[in-house]
Structure formats: structure tokens, C-alpha cells
């Protein structure tokens, strides 16, 4: 298991714990609040995974680059939309990494859609949006269910598999 994948363990554990509890909640408003909490947990795991991949890549390139990268990316919170990853973050290392990430992501999204009938790109974007809305307005998403947010979180993890593959010398 890659280092970044460890970041998903806490969120996965939280979901495992919630599965039993959610089944017992009859109040739809309470269930929706949990959708918001799941999205926050998911994006936290995504942010940490992103940093792990970028820091690992930088450390392998050069120790000084690793230190510089940490000073730049330590405060990357809430700035991990796919467009941010490409246009604000990995572009700093060169266009070839953006191109590789784009290619891996496009290919994986097509495969995942064919195999699981869900887009990793859309799922990832939805989780980011749900988290942003919940964290900044306090209102849980009303257009999705617990099962859908959980499925979207799992699919969104694939973005980081693609990023790890792209961030290799």
C-alpha cells in the first residue's frame, strides 16, 4: 500500500462505523447531516493524500525541492479541485506532469465508467462541492444520499492513483 493510501484509512473506518448507524436513523434530516460529515472527512483524506504524493515526488527529486514544496503546499486546504491540481499545483513541476495526469485520469475515468457506471471525475468534483457547501454554509447536501456520497468518495480515490502514476520522474 502506497503511503498516500494510508490517508484513506481514517475516512474508510469512519464510513464502516457509520454504515451500521445510518441504517438505524429514521430521521431524513439527521441522515442528510451525515452526508455533509462524510464529505468533509473524504476531502480531508483527499487533501492529505495529495500532499503525500507531492511531498514524496519532491523528496525523490531533491531534498531541497522537498523542503520548498512543503513550505508551498503545507497550507493547501480546499484547493484540490482537478482544475487546481492541474493549473495551480502540478504545473509548477512542468507541463509533462500535467499532461501525464490528464492522460491517466481520462483513461481511468473511461475504464471506471465502463466497469462501475460512475465517473471518477464527476464523483470527485461532487465530493469537493458537497464539502465546500457543508463547511461554508452548514447545510448538508440535499441532492444526494449517504450511499451516493460514499460511492462518490470511493470513486474519487482513483484521482490520487492517477496522480501518483503521473508524478514519477
Other Cβ atoms less than 10 A from the Cβ of 49: the count is 25
> For residue range 30-40, what is the model confidence (pLDDT) as tens digits?
989 999 999 99
Total residue count of the chain as it appears in this document: 169
Q: Which residues touch 146 (CB under 8 Å, ≥6 apart)? A: 18, 22, 31, 34, 35, 38
pLDDT of residue 1: 54
pLDDT of residue 59: 84
pLDDT of residue 153: 97
pTM attached to this predicted model: 0.92
pLDDT of residue 74: 78
Which segments of the chain have a pLDDT < 50? Answer: none
Amino acid at each position: 500500500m502506497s503511503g498516500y493510501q494510508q490517508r484513506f484509512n481514517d475516512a474508510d473506518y469512519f464510513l464502516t462505523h457509520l454504515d451500521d448507524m445510518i441504517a438505524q436513523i429514521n430521521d431524513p434530516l439527521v441522515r442528510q447531516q451525515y452526508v455533509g460529515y462524510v464529505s468533509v472527512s473524504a476531502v480531508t483524506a483527499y487533501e492529505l493524500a495529495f500532499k503525500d504524493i507531492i511531498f514524496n515526488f519532491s523528496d525523490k527529486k531533491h531534498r531541497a525541492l522537498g523542503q520548498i514544496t512543503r513550505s508551498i503546499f503545507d497550507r493547501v486546504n480546499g484547493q484540490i479541485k482537478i482544475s487546481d491540481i492541474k493549473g495551480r499545483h502540478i504545473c509548477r513541476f512542468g507541463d509533462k506532469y500535467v499532461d501525464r495526469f490528464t492522460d491517466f485520469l481520462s483513461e481511468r475515468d473511461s475504464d471506471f465508467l465502463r466497469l462501475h457506471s460512475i465517473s471518477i471525475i464527476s464523483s470527485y468534483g461532487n465530493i469537493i462541492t458537497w464539502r465546500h457547501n457543508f463547511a461554508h454554509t452548514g447545510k448538508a447536501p440535499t441532492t444526494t444520499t449517504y450511499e451516493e456520497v460514499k460511492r462518490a468518495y470511493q470513486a474519487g480515490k482513483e484521482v490520487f492513483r492517477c496522480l501518483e502514476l503521473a508524478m514519477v520522474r
